[in-house]
Amino acid sequence: MFFKSFIAYFIFLGTVFSSVSASEIKKAYFAGGCFWGVEYHFEKLNGVESVVSGYMGGTMKNPGYYDVVYKNTGHLEVVEVSYDPSKVSYESLAKLFFEIHDPTQKNGQGPDIGSQYVSAVFTSDMTEQKTIRNLIQILQKKGLDVATTLRASTTFYKAEEYHQDYYSKTKKQPYCHSYKKLFD
């Protein structure tokens, strides 16, 4: 009986500790053109637990890819970055975001043109907003005409499964995202 109670106690403790660590995971939302390339780069960053491609910012509930592309729903292709703030800061995520796409390009990214491909950051609180504004000011002081918009987070809709981990599945490289150091 003691042994069963002992095991039950450790299972309980394991549940408590795993739920505590799961609650420490935060989410950030970035739109930098085609979500495949943005996802590809964020997945390589230490402290990022997962990256999910999806849609945010529009008017239709549960949009699919063809809705976003052809029905003018107002959604952007976005990645949801789940990260451990004890390993990577929101500022580090935001810096990487600006360094993996062209934040000066209007109405698209690389060859992908359209309102669903614009550069935007969806923020969840004032701290995130302040971080993004500060980074944009740094880029502007360097002479960049930043087109990235700042928006409040709305409902995130996961994209179809064939969009998830696209470059890992296809063994291809991003065609419109590459890393370019912008911050010291």
Query: b/e per residue, 162-182, with b = 16+ CB within 10 A?
Result: ebbbbbeeeeeebebbeeeeb
Q: Is 34 assigned a catalytic role?
A: yes
Active-site pick, 28, 29, 32, 34: 34
If you ran DSSP here, which 8-state letter would residue 115 be given?
Answer: G
Residues in the chain: 184
Instruction: Please calculate the CA angle 146-182-111 and round it to the nearest 5 degrees.
Output: 55
Q: In 3D, which of 103, 56, 45, 104 has the Cα closest to residue 79?
A: 56
| Residue owning tokens 């003691």 | 2
Active site residues per annotation = 34
